Structure 1
């Protein structure tokens, strides 16, 4: 009887099945694959998977060696000549890697964009404006899988004058488009003395890149480099002593979030939201004491927590830290804390929120990799 029910569904016209199942979230599709072979084939259909609604599925961690250090061999990019790799930007299912070609030198570097879901990767052409061996160059990947073209872009902040080595005044941007395969320069319109550094925090949504600056502003630019804006963060008005390293931005439910944990006030968390299409006013959305939530007081460096992401569809944020180096989810509606995973050696390596994308990379130079360069920390 159960098998006949499965056959009734799978015997429906193919176009109708695609229309129905493309509305099912990807996690539910994965569960349906366990019902039978026919359901497994149906729920694995690329035409369905590509259209399936996606949300945050977990976090990408750099796998590294047994001590959590970067792997000396590029396990996935086997045909590349790189010798050490490090992920440093991620956007809507794509990951940008910096690959050093020789283990003893950082002067020869490739930049690689990969899609873990489709196991595709492609190497970017050299940027003519970057100095050889500049490991502090700020590259940011942007990708919108809902767009018809499905092309990605990479932004490189072009320094004008370096300040204290790690900070520079941004004179403009070099923008790479996978559609044209070329880098183009766009002169900055953020105004004079706009500084960026390699610790820049960024989010991308609605066709706009949002990034933090050392003076606690959010600078924005569209994918074409035509619309430039600068927004003051709420921290600069309320707590002028807050530094860029303590501030964090994220995207959730159509709003831009600005967050901060005050280690001098019982690890107090403050969350502001900004409706980017509204009146451009920051609204204090939530406050809580991290120490009280975790039922212990701040008593040393191991009790520091770092904000790493906001859930795109829920009032939930994610942190790392604590005595055991945990990855933690905090539900702002219920004020419940959930430990997702003890990170141990992974606690100090790059970590990115991961939303699967099954859109094929559009560039003709794409190749396939066999093994992943990273681990996952999944949650339900």
Structure 2
């Protein structure tokens, strides 16, 4: 009979410094798993200094569902988070229970780990306020009201931890209600350093209309917004430099995203033979788009027995890989498509009660200003 070895496990010979060096090279989701190894690893993986060193990438999506016919009832509206794998317990609590109690939360925008939410008060839901929070660190701050919120407006978030620990909130002010062709008259910009909104007169011209669901991308310190026409509108973080980038197709019904440091435009052509087209802004200075990829949607979805509908939607691009994410069919299947291998992968079914706000989430552990934290 063989004797059992009395040798300690190899991992026990690793010093804490060496373990930290190894763990710092792992993504956040792996750190969460390794907390179960031992009490010492639990302490190491929970260390904020280690989490800051850990490389972060796309981890999942925030989204909503409405269970009943009346979407204005608080109990009918639910918040969700799905991991990128589609499996396991959500790595983020979608209820955001660390925030002040409110009747309902709407996910508005997400940028590099920070989440912009609209919180509704009881009992009538007619009163609301905006919050910027970090789900990974549970830090948050309430935005002050501004008169511009009484009219027709769109709110988006800008945050780049590689440049600054501070964010900006952009409120695009329009001079009317219910008309897609009403131009943006100005932009209110909120800065956490001052705790105030600053108004900047629009320099986009008379054809600068945006839809309330306009997509936004922060790239190299510049916010990009899809217009209702064939262009992307740009403004820097301080509202001093304004611009416009013409697009090869209408930006109104197109997807705008960022991947590997470039701006991308995606569009599904809803014709008799629908086709997905992806353009990349290769040279930002010349503002010239290059058609990078095309594929018939039947090639994407039919082999997986997924039905193509007009409401199929491109919702994200992976920040580090040539992956596109869609919601497909009545069950809102979350699907990834690899443009290099042309492989389609069904991640999970989000459910047929889901509504059209799907926000990709990349964890961030950088400290940022907040009086409420």
1:250 corresponds to: 257
Do residues 345 (structure 1) and 348 (structure 2) align? no
Consecutive unaligned residues of structure 1, counting only runs of 5 or more, are 236-241, 367-380
1:192 corresponds to: 206
Do residues 87 (structure 1) and 114 (structure 2) align? no
- 1:8 pairs with one of 4, 13, 38: 13
Distance change in 2, residues 1:67/1:52 (3 Å): farther
TM-score by length of 1: 0.82
Consecutive unaligned residues of structure 2, counting only runs of 5 or more, are 1-5, 79-94
- 1:154 pairs with one of 143, 164, 169: 169
Distance change in 2, residues 1:90/1:296 (3 Å): same
Distance change in 2, residues 1:81/1:5 (3 Å): closer
Within 5 Å, give how 1:109-148 maps onto structure 2: 109-131=128-150, 134=151, 136-147=152-163
CA deviation vs aligned residue, 1:306-349 (integer Å, no higher than 9, x gap): 01000000001001122432111000011111111111134324
Q: Distance in 1 between matches of 2:177 and 2:67?
A: 34
- Given that residues 68 and 349 in structure 1 are in contact (C-alpha distance below 8 angstroms), is that contact kept between their aligned partners in structure 2? no
Distance change in 2, residues 1:298/1:138 (3 Å): farther
Q: Distance in 2 between matches of 1:224 and 1:341?
A: 40
- 1:217 pairs with one of 210, 222, 231: 231
1:99 corresponds to: 119
1:374 corresponds to: none
Paired positions, count: 350
Q: How much has 1:34 moved relative to structure 2?
A: 3.6
TM-score by length of 2: 0.84
Distance change in 2, residues 1:271/1:76 (3 Å): closer
Q: Distance in 2 between matches of 1:299 and 1:329?
A: 13
Do residues 289 (structure 1) and 296 (structure 2) align? yes
- Given that residues 64 and 70 in structure 1 are in contact (C-alpha distance below 8 angstroms), is that contact kept between their aligned partners in structure 2? no
- 2:27 pairs with one of 25, 29, 34: 25
Q: How much has 1:112 moved relative to structure 2?
A: 1.1
Q: Distance in 1 between matches of 2:306 and 2:337?
A: 21
Q: How much has 1:174 moved relative to structure 2?
A: 0.4
Q: How much has 1:64 moved relative to structure 2?
A: 6.0
**Structure with more contact order per residue of length (Cα contacts < 8 Å, sep ≥ 6):** 1
Q: Distance in 1 between matches of 2:357 and 2:133?
A: 16
Partner-residue secondary structure (3-state), 2:32: helix
Partner-residue secondary structure (3-state), 2:74: coil
Q: Distance in 2 between matches of 1:202 and 1:315?
A: 20
Q: Distance in 2 between matches of 1:171 and 1:265?
A: 39
C-alpha RMSD of the superposition:
2.9
